[in-house]
Structures are given as C-alpha cells and as structure tokens.
Amino acid sequence: MMHTRAFLLLEKEYMEYEESNIFGISITPVGDNLMEWIAEIEGLKDSLWEGAELQLSLQYNENYNKIPPQVNFNTIPFHPNVDPQSGRPCVDFLDDPSKWNPKYTMLSILLSIQVMLSKPVLNNAVNLEAAKMMQNNYRQYRQRVIQCVKASQHIEDIVESLGTHSSAKVIPPTEESGDRSQARKITAISYEKYYSTWFRIATSKAAQEFKTPVFDDPDFIGNHLDWTVENVSKGEWDIDL
C-alpha cells in the first residue's frame, strides 16, 4: 500500500516520540491515516500547572510538513495564551505560517505548548481576562489556575456529568483500529464549564460523605484532626491561600 509523504513523516515522528520517553506528553493517532491525533500534556514540575492533565487535538493534511497542523486544546485551560473559545494555543509558528519551520515535529510542537503553559507571554495574550488577572491580581490568577489543574484531573467524571446536555463527550477507542486508536477524545470543553461542573461533583460527593454514619460518632472529627496534625505537614497548595 502506497502512503503519502505526510503519512510517512508522521509515522516517523511517532516512532521518534515513542523512543524519546519525554516527561508528561502522550500522543495517540485517532485513525489509521495518521492525519488526526490526540495528545495529553502534563504541567511541568515545580510550575503553577504541575499536576494538570490537558488534552489537545492535532489535525494534519497532505501538505504537511510544508505547513503546520491545526492544534487546539480540548480541555481549555484558563491561560493568557490560550483562546478561551476555540482552545487554540497562541504559538507564533502555528499562528504565522511564515514562521513555520519544516524541521518542527509533533513532539517539538507539544513541548513548546507545555513550556508556554508555565511561561505565559502577556504581550501575546488572547485570553484578556487571564492576562489582566495575572498582571493585576496574581493571587486570584494563581487560585484560578489551581482550580483548573484540579478540574483537569477529573475530566471524564465531568464529561459524564454533562451528559446529553452538552456537545462535550468522550470518544472511546474503536476495536477495528487496533492499537492505533487508544485515544479517548474529548470535544472542546471551556475552563468555566468543566470547573463549575467539577465543583458541583466535588461538593455533591462531600455532602454524601457527611451523610455516612461515621460522622454520627462524636469522637470521629476530633480523632481525625489529631491524626492530621501528627501526620500531615504543610504543603505547597496551602501557601498563600
């Protein structure tokens, strides 16, 4: 079977990715033609986005690698350099074809986006609310990012909760495509939607926990707090909150 140049390039890039063992980046083709991919990136360690699990879609065509792919976040983060509606990351060589270099690969694109998350560029902002908040009220911005990170870790629960009332959904892997379709694709979900839904799920679960018989024990809360003081040290999440 004859394959196009774009197919062969992407197949080679995928093999290089599998050999690279790069932290916090996973890539999976959606179908056998390799023109659509699902990627998941984690926030870099020791950054504000550490712990985030964000999904992106990459769409290629037969003109690759003469032109860049179309890249969009499916789980849209609250970030100065990510369009809050489309989920498109603001990366110069993706926005401006004249800055695209055929030497760039799928992995280098995702690495650039991973770094962009941790190092926003305010003079290139497309989410003005996030940019203004970061510049004028960093504490509030930091809290919003922490909320976003926590929500991103529960995305499938959120999609299930949204159900038929939203365009957001998880597309499970298909059996016909074998190993090449293990991605679980999520259509675009805005930060506001998935955070508010996650918050509702979290508070609902907490309410259910407080209905359990263990809380009828008058000594339970005191014993639990004593254990916490003895065993849990102050963590990074508690600082400045």
User: How far is the C-alpha of 207 from the C-alpha of 227, rounded, in Å?
Assistant: 22
Which pLDDT score, from 0 to 100, does residue 160 have?
56
pLDDT of residue 122: 94
Q: Tokens representing 84?
A: 């809050």
Q: What is the pLDDT of residues 144-166, one digit of tens each?
A: 999 999 988 876 665 555 553 44
Domains of the chain and any CATH numbers? 5-238 (3.10.110.10)
Burial zone of 128 (CB within 10 Å; 0-12 exposed, 13-18 middle, 19+ buried): exposed
The catalytic position among 90, 126, 168, 189 is: 90
Tally the C-alpha atoms within 13 A of residue 50's C-alpha that lie toward its C-beta: 6
pLDDT at 177: 40
* Orientation angle between helical segments 138-152 and 155-162, nearest 10 degrees: 80
Q: Is 90 a catalytic residue?
A: yes
Which DSSP string do the residues of 15-27 spell out, in sequence order? HHHHHH--TTEEE
- Kind plus residue range of the DSSP H or E element containing 70: strand 70-73
Q: First CA to last CA across the chain, in angstroms?
A: 59
Q: What is the pLDDT of residue 124?
A: 85
The pLDDT, as a whole number, for residue 31 is: 84
* pLDDT for res 32: 87
pLDDT at residue number 187 = 58
* Separation of alpha carbons 142 and 208, rounded Å: 29
Which residue is it, tokens 């560029």? 121
pLDDT < 50 stretches in the chain = 164-183, 198-199, 201-218, 220-225, 227-241
